[in-house]
Amino acid sequence: MNPTHNRELYFATSNPHKFGEAKPILAASGIIILHLPFVHDEIRSDSLEEIALEAVSVAFSKLKKPVFVEDTGLFINALNGFPGTYSAWVQK
């Protein structure tokens, strides 16, 4: 077995810029990431954890290999956390 095989991860994202940022950071630790172009209908939730868990579950069910996702939100204290996980929707 290839010793690097255990250190390969797939990054499921539709955003090539996110992949481009993550690749050298993880490579510095000896972790090889491969881009899995990933587009799916993201669930709506107030929880980043719930959104990420659902996305990684969908990605893993398709790939059946180690995979991770990344999700963010913009939480503004003066607006009681708004837009939070809905920041992409607000931007559109």
Tell me: the pLDDT tens digits for 53-73? 999 999 999 999 999 999 999
Give the DSSP per-residue string, the chain.
--TTGGGEEEEEES-HHHHHHHHHHHHTTT-EEEEEE----PPP-S-HHHHHHHHHHHHHHHH-S-EE-----EE-GGGTT-EETTHHHHH-
Report the C-alpha gap between 52 and 68 in whole angstroms. Answer: 9
Tokens of 3: 């010793």
CATH classification number, 5-91, choose in 3.90.1280.10, 3.30.70.330, 3.90.950.10, 3.40.50.2300? 3.90.950.10
> Is residue 71 among the annotated active site residues?
yes
Q: Which is the catalytic residue, given 19, 55, 71, 85?
A: 71
* pTM summary value: 0.80
pLDDT in tens, 3-57: 545 567 999 999 999 999 999 999 999 899 999 999 999 999 999 999 999 999 9
The domain locations on the chain are 5-91
